[in-house]
Amino acid sequence: MSLEVMKKGLLATVQDTGRKGYGKFGISCSGVMDTYAYRLANWLVGNKGDEAVLEITWSGFAVRFLQDAWVSITGADLAPECEGISVPMWRPIFFLEGSELVFKYPRSGCRSYLSILGGIDVPEVMGSRSTYLRAGIGGFNGRALQTGDTIPIVKKAPYDFPKRRSDDRPFRAVLWSAAPASTYGRADTLLRVTRGRQYEDFRNEAIERFFDDEYMVKAESDRMGYRLSGPPLTLESPKEYISEGVTAGTIQVPADGQPIILMADRQTLGGYPKIAQVASVDIPWVAQLPPGSRIRFQEISPYESERLFLEQERKMKLLKRMIDYRIKEEFNAADRPEL
């Protein structure tokens, strides 16, 4: 059971929920950038939700299925195509052996997720299958996927979906979808943030501009961090800070005053002052911002940040139940215990 990489594209890696518990050793978390799209991708093929998937960035990636496969594509719309036919997203799709899936160009968003029934089968390193590019560990041989790679798939899927063969098409998609609201992956986004630990150290004008003006995503943004450009954020008085633990969504401001939002491949410690922290619910949105996107920040209370997260999780739980139900209905897999 495997997939063959036909074209490596800009950047494609194997990722899961990331490496937890190794931060004290200086080991980055890694894992998927957009946890929302990732979980849906897994649920839509009947996986538990924490299986390894492919994270495909921007454009040019192509993969061939070396056997029949149930897959799902979520996240950014990178114009997926199979033999010239547009492939729908956010739903289960059955691909016939030998068919080739191409991610042509970005229509909206930045990162697509390709899940497969059973998950990508690479060895766990420190409890995770995520690729940690900088350290060269995890994922597929510790590196980004290259043209010609054969990526193994977990052989024993939790159950078998019936095959959907048809004479005229290389794939068959179900008619329903779990597509999110149309605002998903939009390039102008309002990010909700709470105050960072050194918020008070910034000048009042800097704080005002941070919340009133727009910031643009720079091309140097990557899995480590999103670099922004906009009105410089200056401190009341320059100061040396002692490095301390950071997390996904931490907004650090180096000496040039241009903020950086830390993401999945961030280092464990950061030594720059932290002006704000992106609410957990909004981090998947950051992950889908292509360079040139414009963003604004809105302050919310820590309580509100928690409430938004818990509310979203309640909705996700409902969504999972609905997806499970539709899958069961679709495939009549009544004996599947998780459903």
Partner 1 sequence: MKQLIMKPLGDSALLIQFGERIGEDVNAKVQAAASYLDQHPFTGYVECIPSFTTLTVYYDLLKLGRPPGSGTASEYVCSIVTGLLQDMESISFSARKIVEIPVCYGGEYGPDLAYVAEINGRSEQDVVKIHTGQEFLIYALGFAPGFPYLGGVPESIAAPRKKTPRLSIPAGSVGIAGTQTGIYPLQTPGGWQIIGRTPLAIFQPEHHPPVLLESGQMIRFKSISSDEYDRLAGERK
Binding positions for partner 1, rule: CB under 8 A: 20-28, 125-126, 134-137, 194, 197, 242-247, 249-250, 267-269, 277-280, 302-303, 305-306, 309-310, 313
Distance in Å, CB of 156 to partner 1, minimum: 26
Q: Using the minimum distance from each CB to partner 1, give the nearer residue, 15 or 194.
A: 194
Distance in Å, CB of 223 to partner 1, minimum: 16
Q: Using the minimum distance from each CB to partner 1, give the nearer residue, 144 or 153.
A: 144
Query: Contacts from 158-163 at CB under 8 Å and sequence distance 24+?
Result: 158/46, 158/47, 158/48, 158/118, 158/336, 158/338, 159/46, 159/333, 159/335, 159/336, 160/333, 161/46, 161/70, 161/92, 161/94, 161/117, 161/331, 161/333, 162/331, 162/332, 163/68, 163/94
Distance in Å, CB of 39 to partner 1, minimum: 13
What is the chain's alpha carbon radius of gyration, rounded to the nearest angstrom? 21
Q: Name the DSSP class of 200.
A: G
Q: Using the minimum distance from each CB to partner 1, give the nearer residue, 248 or 323.
A: 248
- Name the 3-class secondary structure at 95: strand
Q: What is the Cα–Cα distance from 322 to 338, expressed in whole angstroms?
A: 13
Residue 259 CA to its chain's centroid (Å): 21
Distance in Å, CB of 123 to partner 1, minimum: 10
Distance in Å, CB of 49 to partner 1, minimum: 13
Q: What is the Cα–Cα distance from 238 to 234, expressed in whole angstroms?
A: 8
Q: Using the minimum distance from each CB to partner 1, give the nearer residue, 246 or 287.
A: 246
Distance in Å, CB of 312 to partner 1, minimum: 11
- Name the 3-class secondary structure at 330: helix
Q: Using the minimum distance from each CB to partner 1, give the nearer residue, 153 or 193.
A: 193
Pairing of strands 188-195, 294-299: parallel
Q: Using the minimum distance from each CB to partner 1, give the nearer residue, 108 or 268.
A: 268
